[in-house]
Amino acid sequence: MKSYLTPIVLLFSLATFIAGCSSTKQTNNLISTAQTDDTAEEWIKVNINEAIYFHFEKEDSEWTGTFRTYTLNDENEKVVNQLYVSANDSSWSDFQQFVDFLNIYEIGPQNEIEDWVPDSGTLPRRVYNFEVFDGDSVHSFSYQDPINGIRDYWQAQNLLTFMTLVENDLQWVESTSEP
């Protein structure tokens, strides 16, 4: 029974940590974030453990984003728990430079990294799934517990640095509309 509770506790802790560490404020003045990928110049989608979703879009050379957390309802169906949108402030002004500097569009799947060996002895605690569009092509990649490879692989370093920026430095505004 204990092994079944561990992933649930970790998932809840991650959601609580992200929600608690992100700078947020509630407002009725929401920033419009397009939900269609066909008009975006570039986009980045990230989901963490199928419970936290980030969607970033660049339109007219400006980046915006949404951030959703999910939970299970009484019928064990996944439903939106909280919804945040990007704040209209200076925290987003350098987003493109971070994407470029961290080579987010160049990162490939973890299993294609030379000399990388999966840790088959334990279940992953954190799984990051990325889907990116650089204006020309779409590709996706996935990383399981990238913290374990942070010393050895630039890809893990850059992925975690990007997520630190997203979780700690970007300003998010809690949506007052229905999630």
The confidence band for 22, taking pLDDT boundaries of 50, 70 and 90, is: very low
Chain segment 85-118, per-residue pLDDT in tens: 999 899 999 999 999 999 999 999 988 888 887 7
Of the two residues 59 and 178, the one the predictor is more confident about is 59
Of the two residues 24 and 137, the one the predictor is more confident about is 137
Q: DSSP assignment of 84-102, as one string?
A: EEE-SSGGGTTHHHHHHHT
Domain ranges for the chain = 2-174
Q: Calculate the dihedral angle through the C-alpha atoms of 33, 37, 42, 44, rounding to the nearest 10 degrees.
A: 80
CB atoms within 10 A of CB 106: 13
pLDDT for residue 163 is more than 80: yes
Under CATH, which architecture does the 2-174 domain have?
2-Layer Sandwich (3.30)
pLDDT for residue 10 is more than 60: no
DSSP SS3 for 178: coil
Query: Which pLDDT value is given to residue 52?
Result: 94
